[in-house]
Amino acid sequence: MGAKAQHTVPNLHLRNFAGTQPAGQVWTYDCVNGKSWSQIPEETGTSTHFYSVLKEDGTQDTRIEELLSANESRAAPVYKRLLGGEIPKIDTQARVYFAEFLAMMYVRTSGMRRMNAEIRSRGLQTLSFAYAQNEAAFNRLIRGVEKERGETITPEIKEEVRAMMRDPSAYDVEIPKHMTLSALGVADKIAPIVYNMKWSLGQPLSGFFITGDSPVIRTVDPKTRHPALGDGGFKNKTAELSFPLSTDLMLFTSWDEDALSFGLLEREYVDALNELRAIHADRFLYAHVEDRLIVDLAAKFGGTRPEIKFSGFGPSAVAKTTVSRK
């Protein structure tokens, strides 16, 4: 039986953001309600059965949590060496393990799960909208429901259903939690790409790094984004991944073969990297200190979490998407 409280951000990462006031604790900043508090790393960034799936017998299937724990265990020795300035070389198992860890850190987040649910929800709403727009298709759908239920649907209810399919904005669409876990499968495609990128380390000349509930962030040159086709993901040659290993060390991966293996970062760049964590946070930021500047950062970017942008055929107003808790 796996643990009930599961880390959405692993303890392996959070313990490198523990401070001295209070000793050994991590400060959490809530970008939604503005609150902040401190806890030990083991109690920070957790959610009840976040990766579990409810089985038919009412018990929780915790195999995904066990898989994530194994992923972290393989990466832990490499993480320690990175903190000491040692970058794993190409053609080593250490680099494979940490590339897998980075890929999983990118996809295991609450934000990625939320966006996965939104994609599924929008797909269902677009399909319903298509049926509602086509008289023959809508009638076939209704006949199928009537046959399945063994009863006739009144004209009034038919029109009510059709209106809802055309404009679902007054309703909620709940996506089963287990369906959002498919986002984890993308890690298998990301890991080999990250493995082959150039890895570099950066240390602040002044200031410190914070982290968040989306600690691994990919950026690209905005000029390379296509309005319909996107930006090419990790294979985009301007792509850079950043991951704060600790309060004073950042890991970068990019396609720039001329990038230094180690560099000292000006305060302006350090602040920009911290802003990036705030912009991409689904809800929480984490730091080793209680700091008014981080409170302000959380407030400033509290409404900027990444969202899926949809365009084209479909309802002009959409339903709110939620993820079931079980």
What confidence category does residue 262 fall into, taking pLDDT thresholds of 50, 70 and 90? very high
More confident residue, 85 or 3: 85
Q: Rounded to an integer, what distance in angstroms lies between the CA atom of residue 88 and that of residue 30?
A: 34
The answer to whether residue 180 scores a pLDDT higher than 70 is: yes
Closest CA to 279 of 231, 226, 182, 210: 210
DSSP string, 16-38: GG--BTTBT-EEEEETTT--EEE
Asked which of 15-19, 56-60, 308-312, 314-318 is least confident by mean pLDDT, the reply is: 308-312
Q: Is 309 exposed, middle or buried, given 0-12, 13-18 or 19+ CB atoms closer than 10 A?
A: exposed
Single-letter residue type at 260: L
Give the pTM: 0.89
81 and 88 Cβ atoms separated by less than 8 Å: yes
For the chain, give every domain's residue range: 5-114+179-300
27 and 289 Cβ atoms separated by less than 8 Å: yes
What confidence category does residue 294 fall into, taking pLDDT thresholds of 50, 70 and 90? very high
Section 92-98 average pLDDT: 98
What confidence category does residue 2 fall into, taking pLDDT thresholds of 50, 70 and 90? very low
Sign of the Cα torsion 93, 94, 95, 98 reads: positive
